[in-house]
């Protein structure tokens, strides 16, 4: 199982967000749970080419599409274009071909270099299995029985941004390579079921790690720090 999780970390860590290139054409706001990274969704959708040709429709099949955001089960344009939607809402998004099926297209239905338009209706949102906390909640956690694990590499840690009481277990080096001994060091310091908070520089890497622990290793009581150390610097956190 650790080998499977290692593959996922290596795969997703190389993913870069292109959210600014996805255009929201129109939207009807929902009033349910908000779609965040690693939310599990049930949606209906209609996919069109720029000439308005429908190439796919879950409505026609009469079957909801279920997937998890942030684990590359869908095209990149969906990964970023659905963030911020709410349960019960509808959104129409324009996705440039680079974030869709690229230069090759997809079969006979989607030609090469096709920009796509999707009408998406979110019927159900299930929050990630891990919990997200902010800097103020971290301060409270530091007085409780949490294991705080700083997964940053040595180039990201300075004498001015060390987190008091945190265990330093680096997950990735500065080039994005995963340290294979991370799991062994983790097991040496953390008992199954203990409350764990992962902290990275900006929060993106810690969320991927937290999601992997929940989804692939079935761990509970897993947390990650939203915005990471960068967020702590904004609130004048008392570093070590």
pLDDT in tens, 48-79: 999 999 999 999 999 999 999 988 899 999 99
CA distances from 103 to 81, 92, 97, 124 (A): 20, 23, 7, 33
For 17, the 3-state DSSP assignment is: coil
Residues 114 and 204 in one domain: no
- pTM of this structure: 0.85
Q: What is the mean pLDDT of the chain?
A: 90
2-13 and 204-215 are packed helices; what angle lies between their axes, rounded to 10 degrees?
150
Whether 65 is covered by a domain: the verdict is: yes
pLDDT tens digits, 72-110: 899 999 999 999 999 999 999 999 999 999 999 999 999
Query: Half-sphere exposure of 199 toward its Cβ, with a 13 Å CA cutoff?
Result: 28
* 1 part of a folded domain: no
Q: Is 4 inside a domain boundary?
A: no
More confident residue, 4 or 102: 102
Residue 187 falls within a domain, yes or no?
Answer: yes
Looking at the structure, tell me whether residues 121 and 136 fall in a common domain: no
The predicted-structure confidence for 176-207, as pLDDT tens digits, reads as follows 788 888 989 999 999 999 999 999 999 999 99
Say if residues 13 and 172 touch (Cβ distance below 8 Å). Answer: yes
Specify whether 139 is located in the same domain as 184. yes
Q: 182 and 111, same structural domain?
A: no
Contact 216, 222 (CB under 8 A): no
Report how many domains make up the chain.
Answer: 2
Quote the domain boundaries for residue 55. 16-126
* % pLDDT > 70, the chain: 92
Task: Give the pLDDT band (50/70/90) at residue 173.
Answer: confident
**Is residue 75 within 8 Å of 7, Cβ to Cβ?**
no
Q: What local confidence, expressed as pLDDT, does residue 14 receive?
A: 43
Clarify whether residues 107 and 27 are in a common domain. yes
pLDDT 10s digits, 23-39: 999 999 999 999 999 99
Say how far apart CA 172 and CA 155 lie, in whole Å. 11
Across the range 129-147, mean pLDDT stands at 95
3-state secondary structure (DSSP) of residue 59:
helix
Instruction: Assess whether 98 and 141 both reside in one domain.
Output: no
pLDDT at residue 1 above 70?
no
- Is residue 72 within 8 A of residue 52, CB to CB? The reply is no
**214 and 151 within one domain:** yes
The whole-number pLDDT of residue 240 equals 87
Given a contact cutoff of 8 angstroms between Cβ atoms, the answer to whether 209 and 151 are in contact is yes
Predicted confidence at residue 48, as pLDDT, reads 98
Q: Which residues are bridge partners to 90 per DSSP?
A: 28, 121
Among 126, 157, 173, the domain boundary falls at: 126
pLDDT at 54: 97
pLDDT at position 187, please?
A: 92
Note whether 106 and 147 are same-domain residues: no
139 half-sphere exposure, CB direction, 13 A CA radius: 9
pLDDT of residue 9: 53
Distance CA 174, CA 195 (A): 27
CA-CA distance, 223 to 207, in Å (whole number)? 8
Same domain? For 70 and 147 the reply is: no
Of 17-21, 44-48, 120-124, the poorest mean pLDDT is in 17-21
At 5 the pLDDT is 52
**CATH number assigned to the domain comprising residue 208:** 3.40.250.10
CA dist 208 and 206 (Å) reads 5
> Looking at the predicted structure, is the pLDDT value of residue 46 above 60?
yes
Final residue before a domain boundary, out of 126, 151, 181: 126
pLDDT(2) > 60: no
Same domain membership, residue 25 and residue 116: yes
Instruction: Say yes or no to pLDDT of 112 above 60.
Output: yes
pLDDT at 163 over 50: yes
**Residue 114's CATH number:** 3.10.50.40
Indicate if 21 and 116 belong to the same structural domain: yes
Confirm whether 202 is domain-assigned: yes
Residue 8 lies in a domain: no
Spatial separation of the C-alpha atoms in residues 141 and 205, rounded to whole Å: 20
Q: Are residues 148 and 226 in the same domain?
A: yes
Of 126, 157, 191, the position where a domain reaches its end is 126
């Amino acid at each position: 199982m650790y080998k499977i999780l290692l593959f996922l970390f290596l795969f997703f860590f190389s993913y870069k967000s292109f959210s600014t290139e996805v255009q929201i054409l129109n939207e009807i706001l929902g009033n349910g749970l908000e779609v965040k990274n690693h939310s599990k969704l049930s949606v209906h959708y209609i996919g069109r080419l720029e000439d308005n040709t429908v190439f796919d429709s879950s409505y026609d099949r009469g079957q909801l599409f279920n997937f998890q955001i942030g684990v590359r089960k869908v095209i990149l344009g969906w990964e970023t274009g659905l963030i911020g939607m709410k349960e019960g809402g509808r959104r129409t998004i324009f996705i440039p071909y680079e974030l869709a099926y690229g230069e090759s297209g997809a079969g006979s239905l989607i030609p090469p270099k096709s920009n796509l338009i999707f009408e998406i209706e979110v019927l159900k949102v299930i929050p990630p299995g891990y919990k997200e906390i902010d800097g103020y909640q971290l301060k409270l956690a530091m007085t409780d029985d949490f294991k705080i694990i700083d997964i940053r590499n040595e180039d990201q840690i300075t004498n001015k941004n060390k987190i008091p009481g945190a265990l330093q277990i680096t997950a990735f080096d500065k080039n994005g390579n995963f340290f294979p001994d991370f799991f062994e060091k983790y097991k040496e310091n953390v008992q199954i079921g203990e409350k764990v908070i992962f902290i990275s520089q900006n929060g993106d890497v810690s969320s991927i790690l937290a999601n992997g622990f929940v989804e692939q290793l079935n761990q509970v009581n897993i947390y990650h720090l939203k915005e990471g150390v960068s967020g702590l610097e904004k609130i004048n956190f008392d570093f070590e």
